[in-house]
Amino acid sequence: MPASPSVSAVSRIAYLASDVVVNSLSPAGPSPFQAALNSLSTSPDIRAAVTNLPVGADAGTTLLRHRSARLLSYTALAHPQLLNQLLLHLPELSSTSTVFHVAVTSDLSDALVLQSSLPFVLYSRTAQQAHDHALLASRLAFTESTAVLHIFHVGDESEQVNEVETDRIAPFLFAERQSPRGSEQKSTTDASALLKIYQSAAFATVALVRRPLRPFNQHGASEPHTVLFTLGQASLNYDVEGVSFVDVALVKPLPPSMILSAVSPSVTRVIVLEQIHHWSMKWTPLYLEVVSAIQQAELDPTPVVQSAVLGDANAITESDVSELVQKACTVPPSARLALGPPPSSQQSSAAPHVPKHEAAYTKILANLFAGRLEILNAPELVSTQGEIATTPEFALGRARGEIEEREELVNAVHELLRDPSISIELHSLLGRWLAFKDDGVKSRQLGDELAAALEGEKLSSAAAQKILILRHRLPARSRWIIGSDAWSYDLGASGLHHAIASRLNVNVLILDTTPYTTRNSVDPHRRKQDVGLYAMNHGDVFVASTAVYSSYAQVLQALMEADRYDGPSVVLAYLPYNTEQTPALDILKETKLAVDSGYWPLYRWNPAKERDGREPFSLDSDFVKNELQQFLDRQNHLSQLTRSKPEVAAELVGSLGENLKQARKQRAQQAYNELLTAIDAPPLTVLYASDGGRAEKVAKRLATRGKLRGLSTTVATMDSVSIEDVAKEEVVVFVTSVAGQGEFPQNGRNFAKAVHALATRGEQPLSSVRFSVFGLGDSHYWPRPEDAHYYNKAGKDLDARLAQLGGLRFVPLGLGDDQDADGPETGYKAWEPLLWKALGVDAVEVTEKEPEPITNEHIKVASQYLRGTIAEGLADHSTGALAPSDTQLTKFHGIYQQDDRDIRDERQAQGAEPAYSFMIRVRMPGGVCSPAQWRMLDQIADEHGNGTFKVTTRQTFQFHGVIKRHLKSAIQDINRVLLDTLAACGDVNRNVIVSTVPSLSKLHRQAYDFAKRVSEHLLPRTTAYHEIWLDKKLVAGDALKDVEPLYGEFYLPRKFKVAVAIPPNNDVDIFANDVGFIAIVDKNGDLAGFNVTAGGGMGVTHGNKKTYPRAGDVLGFCTVAQGVDVAEKIMLVQRDNGNRVDRKNARLKYTIDRMGLDNFKAEVERRLGYQLQPARPFTFDRNIDDFGWTTGEDGKHHFTAFIENGRIQDEPERDFKTALREIAKVHKGAFRLTANQHIIITDVATEDLPTIKRLLAEYKLDNISQSGLRLSSSACVAFPTCGLAMAESERYLPILIDKVEKICEENGLRNDSIVMRMTGCPNGCARPYLAEVAFVGKAPGTYLMLLGGGYHGQRLNKIYRETVTEPEILAILRPMIKRYALEREPGEHFGDFVIRAGYIAPTTSGKEWYDRMGGEGQYRDVAVAA
């Protein structure tokens, strides 16, 4: 439920006025207060600590724990389950400074239950009144140290609220009372005295808001015969003759004198209208107050007092009021009247709302235990059993009753077995059922047979009749009780203890939804991790701690073990989210933080194993740290484990950072020694923050130049020092680039946060420090005027904050802009001389040559043919990383060093090194692997990786999450099945890809054979790979020298990619590759040769117009026999002419544009010794895959399966990894990977079709009913593992497609293919620049949007918008897709349409990619035009 204006206003006052706000979540659905408070918590107005209590949690206990707060606020949407629990605690809370803000929708019954125990009760009809009363209530509670109940209506979005400024609220609360009470009273219950207290607070509030605040508002006739007291939302502003209206705002205290003041002598009848529909007592509260006051006054004549129910305010008219007054004269005074229709009826026992995220676990339960799952406290039971049905006591009672019934059933079966009169067949059936009574599947099958047999034999014995009566207990059930923060929270308290102590065979699943990042703001008494410790202390309970967004396989294992365990089982399930709108991606990130830090360890404790002499405890977390030591040290079975087997505990808890700390100490000592040698030199400290490495290079170059001028310089990242460290320095220079929307790079964020916090508090710890800042940015990156402030924001903010901290700016802020003539160097060259001059070393003559920066070229030539110090790095166990130079070399071996960026900041904050791991890429020409190879790769993913593997856009596999000590064994396993990883990455020819055309079996085989020959011919010849990874040593030391006949010791300037396409399918995007071979078929259907293309490439650098994507050019035709030689000669021309100075301009595409296409072709032909033949005709009609079954020329069958973005993993209801593993066990053909990241199960014989189809159907892998948009989509990995990612890609694109495909469906385009691709950075791994629609990451949540690519992969797209977020993407695509559906020509694809319709200009060549970017005509981006 979104927050209405009244809820928002009350939440704001509570948040700003209180020390603590306790909010109870609503059983009826999402809490409106939670949404409002969450938005407030992100504002700079830091005030209250907010605690959100799950449904069922005892709010009174939590409030009492915070009773010492100066002001405490409680917020809730009225519900009997929540408010009735408060009644027991109200006597204690009534003397505390607490405001109860209770929102109601229509009925006041639930909220008014609290009024009898509290001294003050305010009622608000409108949003403005709710705002003002919230202030009044806060003032009352604070100044009088008393509790106040404020009841208000949720209202609707149309209401307007004039709010008090934030900075005026605190002075209002803390000010002295405006009107003294005369004498101090410790405590009073006298209504008149309480009224004076109210009036004092109201007087102060009126002075603040400048609006009247009255206990009641009277309007209508001046000499009435009837008075209507109203307590409800209706505003009866009618002119009814003889009728006066009194709208009550102060429900308590309500002295008789105040009531009587509204009843003039002319009044003969009083009607009390209350919006109360479910009051349990005969008389309503306001009616009792009014009738009591009139009776005590002994008026003459005494007015008749009648009670009435106020109905739906929106349906009441003036005539309804007149009819009510007339009817009141005709019915007995005791009769209950009604004004207006009752509110729409609601089921009193409606099922509680179950948050959608909980389906992550309930679906797993349903899939695992299909047909026998029984959730004992299922929300659906509420409709028939009442609200008690979700409580643990109810569920446990159900379990006990069912188990006792089944015991009776078993006894009856035993008794019937002893009956000599039964048939042999029945006797056998009874015995078999007893043997399999606990087997979920067999007990059901045998139970059905047994019941049918008993009915057939028509036995009259009591045992037989008993079995038939209890036949529903014949199948074994898997009984579960679910503890949810949303609808059965109290399971984590006494209910759980009862379940454990009962020793019943029942399983308890407890969901913990506390996000890791807000764990410290949660009530410590709600730590659900301790539930597991308590259960393990009991000794005979199975306990598991799981997290589905961390390890799906571990969840499955834990649930199955719990089900098999004979006794109570407790499974703790982590599901961190704040609201139902929390994206699954955020849940994933929170889970990873919790598991990595040890906050939520994954484990299983099975006492049954201990009874068998096996280890009962299994730790399933991949990364654990010192928090787990505390976890183990508690008094439970884990601490017993550490005492009995201390070496096991040490292995479990050993922090990966201990050796790292020791290494840091050694480096610190070395640095200290170096400092002593330069003690007389003036000091200069250079601190940098850099993501891409550019700011780091500038900082290190600056430090080197400082040394050459005689300064004692040190250089480090910002996050490696504290503010206290900086305060001890004399001169500090900061160099920073920008990440995201003006944010600091990763290794400077903690320092920046500390600086901001100190500046906010007004502290000045840097008063003795001289500083200067140089920032690097790109003004073109933020073209829109409203975004211009993001340019170099990190540097600007740091410069301003350091000055606020007292630092002396000795050189003005320097800014380097990528758009200047020399890029950032333009600004840097102007700033650096000022620095040396200010330090007095500008006149120092530098005679020593500045060290040349180490580049990839230096690393390659010094590596001894790709050896470097990789072997030594693998043996270094002090860190999970390799040396920086080695990480450049491992790419040639198919390995990238990465770290988990989801948890990078958290680990850095804890002083641990990043969670380093490695990506391994397999070399697999043509993307073909055997079933045996598939099974090994699947095993490697589980044993060495993160349990998943990915099909890449280059038809091979990638493993992620391989830690350093597993690298060697993983690569050895890959080689064991005749695959390798050599040259899968690096400055060499990479994996050669081939079109997958299952229907053209012979042609594909010929093209595949050619691709393998090219791959083998262009393979590096170094023996380093076999030496390092396969332990194959060189003979006689250095007697055998490596040589690279093609590459030489420098290898290529940059990566080199080759593809083979088989028209009409361009699924490999032939024009995106350095070299392409387009298959040309002769009249017999055989491969005649190839049209050769060259110069394709995708990589771009944001803001650098010297970089651009390029589509390859057709050079000519060659025969199959000539093809390998042609590929070699093109590569050699690139080797000798490519740019080795600037890697951003080193690809073949830039070499061709620099040389000219004709000159390049001539050089290739010169080296070949012959000219290429003229290109032959060919046609492409698509670059996407054809899904489903096809039959090849040889009669074999092939199935193309949709694997979204190539990620092979098991998920709820999508166990694709298991499916493919099971298929690989029986498949006799092969697997082919497509360049669009999908999988083809090929060469299935007709007789094997039923088996493969059965497995596909069983695991739902045969589902190809996705939308055309989704089937045509592709994404790179990006976060969390790719170090280059600037935004999400693989994890976000499916979410975006969910929303875009709805637009397509609205316009009848569900099955129409639109090629949409996304990458997390501009390097273009998913080939976005050839897509019809593409998004390229610029910052978290921000993308470059491109349009107009060719559907056949024949044309580059163009930048349409330079910065878009999701709302802007949807706003752009909605009218565009609608127009496409209405105006497209027959057969016209989306990329062609947006050009014809004038949205974007076509891109005719790579160098013209930036021309006319930003849209055309009326669709042109204003910022680009400017």
Residues labelled catalytic: 921, 990, 1055, 1057, 1276, 1282, 1321, 1325
- How is residue 551 written in tokens? 């390890």
- Quickly count: other Cβ atoms within 10 Å of residue 511's Cβ: 26
How far from 24 is each of 53, 103, 275, 738, CA to CA, in Å?
Answer: 5, 12, 24, 41
Q: Which amino acid is at 1308?
A: G
- How is residue 849 written in tokens? 């040559």
Contact in structure between 292 and 256 (CB atoms under 8 Å): yes
List of residues 6+ apart from 847 with CB closer than 8 A: none
**What crossing angle do the helices spanning 5-17 and 127-144 adopt, rounded to 10°?**
20
Q: Interior CA angle at 1216 toward 443 and 548, to 5°?
A: 75
How far apart CA 799 and CA 802 sit, in angstroms, is 5
Q: Which amino acid is at 1002?
A: K
Contact in structure between 791 and 779 (CB atoms under 8 Å): yes
Contact in structure between 315 and 340 (CB atoms under 8 Å): yes
How far from 418 is each of 93, 411, 413, CA to CA, in Å?
Answer: 66, 11, 9
Considering Cα of 1042, then 1045, then 1050, then 1055, what sign does the dihedral take?
negative
- How is residue 503 written in tokens? 């020793």
Which helix H or strand E contains 1133, and what residues bound it? Answer: helix 1120-1137
Nearest alpha-carbon partner for 913 in 717, 678, 1077: 717
How far apart CA 1236 and CA 567 sit, in angstroms, is 49
Alpha carbons within 13 A on the beta-carbon side of 15: 25
Q: Which amino acid is at 745?
A: P
Q: Interior CA angle at 348 toward 343 and 352, to 5°?
A: 115
Which helix H or strand E contains 809, and what residues bound it? Answer: strand 808-809
**What crossing angle do the helices spanning 392-417 and 462-469 adopt, rounded to 10°?**
150
What is the residue-wise DSSP string for 143-206?
HHT--EEEEEE---TT----PPPGGGHHHHHHSPPSS--SS--S----HHHHHHHHHHHHHHHH
**316: three-class secondary structure by DSSP:** coil
> Which residues are bridge partners to 605 per DSSP?
543, 617
Which helix H or strand E contains 975, and what residues bound it? Answer: helix 964-976
Q: What is the CA radius of gyration of the chain?
A: 38
Which helix H or strand E contains 229, and what residues bound it? Answer: strand 226-231
- Quickly count: other Cβ atoms within 10 Å of residue 1366's Cβ: 15
**924: three-class secondary structure by DSSP:** coil
Return left, alpha or beta for 896; rule: phi > 0 is left, psi -120 to 50 is alpha, else beta.
beta
Distance of CA 516 to the CA centre of its chain: 12
Query: Beta strands 731-736 and 770-777: pairing type?
Result: parallel
Return left, alpha or beta for 1243; rule: phi > 0 is left, psi -120 to 50 is alpha, else beta.
left
Which helix H or strand E contains 1089, and what residues bound it? Answer: strand 1087-1094
How far apart CA 330 and CA 545 sit, in angstroms, is 69
Q: Interior CA angle at 1097 toward 1093 and 1098, to 5°?
A: 145
